[in-house]
Amino acid sequence: MCAELHWAVEMFGDKFFNELRRKTYTTPKSFLDMVELYIVMLSEKRGELKTQRDRLSVGVTKLVETNAIVESLQTELTALAPVLKQKGEEAEIMIANVTKEGDAAQIVKVKVEADELRVGKQAAEVKIVADDAQADLDIALPALHKALGALDKLEKSDITEIKQFNNPPEMVAVVMEAICLLLKSGKTWKDAKQLLGQMDFMDQLKTYDKDNIDPKIIKKLKKYINDERFTPENLAKISKAAVTLCMWVRAMDTYDRVAKTVGPKKAKVEAMNAELKIVQDNLKKKQDQLAEVIAKVDGLKRTLEDTLAEKKRLEDEVELTGNRLQRAEKLTVGLADEQVRWATSVETLGDQIEKLVGDIFISAACISYYGPFTGTYRTQMVLQWVEGCTLRKIPITQGSSMEHTLGDPMQIRQWQIDGLPKDEVSTNNAIMVTRGKRWPLMIDPQEQAKKWIKTTEAKNQLGKSEKAMQE
C-alpha cells in the first residue's frame, strides 16, 4: 500500500502540473519519511487513546463498584438496626446490676476497713513489745557476733599453740576451765587438752545452744566472769586463741543474762502474735470476700464498658455507613448519565484504536506528500487513499482525515485565536508544520503564517534571523 500510494502521488503531481502548471517533486526521502512518521505517530496515538480509554474504563468500573457498595451499605444498615437496639437494652440492664452490686460492695468495704483499723492497732502494740525485746537482745548480740567472728579467724596453729603447753600460764588454764565448764568436759588441763584435740571443737563453740544454758553452769561461770584478770585485754599478751575463747565465754554469759530478761517478753510477743494471727486470719477472710465482691463488680463494670463501647461503635458505624451511603448515592445519581457516556466512549475509543492502523497511515501520507497541493487535490488524494485501504481490508475510519486523526480541537482553537485562518487547508498546514520531521517552507504572501507563528511561539521567546528576513 505504501508503494502504491507513492506512485499515486506522482500521478497526482503530473495532473497538478498539467492543470495548474505547478511542478511538484516526489523523492524516496518522502517515502522514508512517511514510513518513519507512521511508526512514531502510530505508537504515540495508540498510547494516547489507550490512556483515555483506560481512564474512562476505570471510571466506569468505579461507578459499578460504587453501585454495588450502595446496595451493600443499605443491607448493612438494615442489619445493624436490631443489633443496636439489643445492645441498648443490654446496657440498661447492666447499669442496674452494677449499681446494685456496687452498693453491696460498699457496705462490706466499710466493715472491712473498720476491722483493718483494729487489727492495725493491735499489730502496732505487738511491734512495741517485740521492739523492746529486740533492744535487749541488741545488747548481747554484738558481743556474740564479735566472739563468733573471732572464732572464724582462729587458725589451727593457734589452737595447737595452747595444746603444746604442758604447764600453761595461769590465765590460759582459767579460760580453758571456763570452756570445759560450758561444754561439760571436766575441768583439768588434761581434760582441756583432750577437748582442744577434738576435730569439731570449733564447731561446738559456733553451734553452742546459748538459749538453753543450765543455770547451775551459769552460776559456776560467775567465778570466772567476776575475775578482773579474765578479760581479752589481759590475755592479749599471752595467747591469741585464749583472747578469742575468753571473748566467747563472756559473750555466752552476757547473752544468757539478757535472754532471761528477754524471755518473758518474747513469750508475751508470741502470745500476742498468736492472738493477732487469729484476728488477721479472720480479717483475711473478710478481705477475700470483699475482693470477690469487688472483682464481681469490676467484672460487671468491664462488661458494661464493653457493652457501651460496642453500642457506641455500632452507633458510629451506623452514622458512618449512613454518611457513606448518602455520599455514594449522590455520586451514583449525579454520574448516572456520565456512566452511560463513559461506557459509550470506551467502546468508541476501542474502535478508534483498532482503526488507527489506517487512520495514522493516511495522516503520515498527508504530512509527507500533499503539502504542495491545493485543497481540492488534497481531498481527492485522501479519498483515493481511504478507498485503497478499504479495498485491502485495512482497518480505517470512513472519511478519515489528518485533522480528525491528529488534530486537537482545543489546540486548533488556540491556533485560530493566534491568527491561523479557520479554513481546512490552513488547519492541515498547521498540523504538518507541527508534526513533520522536516523544516517547513511556507509560501505566505499575506503573512498569515508569519503572524500565527510569532503569536503562538511568543511564549517560547521566538527570535528571528535578520539575514533570513532580508533574503
**Could you please report the per-residue DSSP string of 111-133?**
HHHHHHHHHHHHHHHHHHHHHHH
Q: Give CA–CA dist 377/12, Å, rounded.
A: 8
- Give 32's pLDDT tier (boundaries 50, 70, 90): confident
% of residues, the chain, pLDDT over 70: 78
State the pLDDT at residue 383: 84
Residue listed under C-alpha cell 500500500: 1
State the pLDDT at residue 62: 77
Q: Give CA–CA dist 374/382, Å, rounded.
A: 12
- Give 469's pLDDT tier (boundaries 50, 70, 90): very low
Query: How many Å is the Cα radius of gyration of the chain?
Result: 59
Average pLDDT, the chain: 76
In this prediction, residues 311-322 reach a mean pLDDT of 72
Residue bearing the bigger pLDDT, 358 or 219: 219
CA quadruple 290, 296, 300, 302: dihedral positive or negative?
Answer: positive
Grid cell of 425 as nine digits: 487547508
% of residues, the chain, pLDDT over 90: 0
Nearest to 122 by CA among 313, 283, 291: 283
In this prediction, residues 407-429 reach a mean pLDDT of 85
- Cβ-Cβ contacts under 8 Å for 83 (sequence gap 6 or more): 314
In this prediction, residues 304-329 reach a mean pLDDT of 72
**Secondary structure (DSSP) of 302-348:** HHHHHHHHHHHHHHHHHHHHHHHHHHHHHHHHHTHHHHHHHHHHHHH
Residue listed under C-alpha cell 528477754: 262
Three-state DSSP class for 280? helix
Q: Give CA–CA dist 463/452, Å, rounded.
A: 14
State the pLDDT at residue 73: 67
In this prediction, residues 442-470 reach a mean pLDDT of 73
State the pLDDT at residue 40: 82
In this prediction, residues 395-416 reach a mean pLDDT of 82
State the pLDDT at residue 304: 67
In this prediction, residues 379-407 reach a mean pLDDT of 81
pLDDT higher than threshold 70 for residue 205: yes
- Cβ-Cβ contacts under 8 Å for 68 (sequence gap 6 or more): none
pLDDT higher than threshold 70 for residue 424: yes
The CB density around residue 239, as the number of other CB atoms within 10 Å, is 20
Grid cell of 443 as nine digits: 509560501
Three-state DSSP class for 411? helix
| Exposure class string for 53-85: b at 16+ Cβ within 10 A, else e | beebbebbeebeebbebbeebeeeeeebeeeee
Contact present, 272 and 165 (Cβ < 8 Å): no
State the pLDDT at residue 468: 47
State the pLDDT at residue 263: 63
CA quadruple 143, 146, 148, 154: dihedral positive or negative?
Answer: negative
- Cβ-Cβ contacts under 8 Å for 348 (sequence gap 6 or more): none
First vs last Cα of the chain: how many Å apart?
41
- Give 434's pLDDT tier (boundaries 50, 70, 90): confident
In this prediction, residues 248-262 reach a mean pLDDT of 75
In this prediction, residues 439-467 reach a mean pLDDT of 77
Half-sphere exposure of 37 (CA within 13 A, CB side): 26
Q: Give CA–CA dist 46/349, Å, rounded.
A: 10
Find how far residue 448's CA is from the centre of its chain: 67
Q: Give CA–CA dist 420/427, Å, rounded.
A: 8
Residue listed under C-alpha cell 470476700: 289
Minimum mean pLDDT range among 278-292, 391-405, 450-464? 278-292
Minimum mean pLDDT range among 143-152, 341-350, 374-383? 143-152
Nearest to 302 by CA among 87, 103, 94: 94
pLDDT higher than threshold 50 for residue 350: yes
Three-state DSSP class for 400? coil
- Give 154's pLDDT tier (boundaries 50, 70, 90): low
State the pLDDT at residue 396: 81
| Exposure class string for 94-133: b at 16+ Cβ within 10 A, else e | beeebeebbeebeebeeebeeeeeebeeeeeebeebbeeb
Q: Give CA–CA dist 434/194, Å, rounded.
A: 129
Minimum mean pLDDT range among 91-105, 125-139, 439-453? 125-139
Minimum mean pLDDT range among 225-229, 332-336, 447-451? 332-336
Q: Give CA–CA dist 425/422, Å, rounded.
A: 9
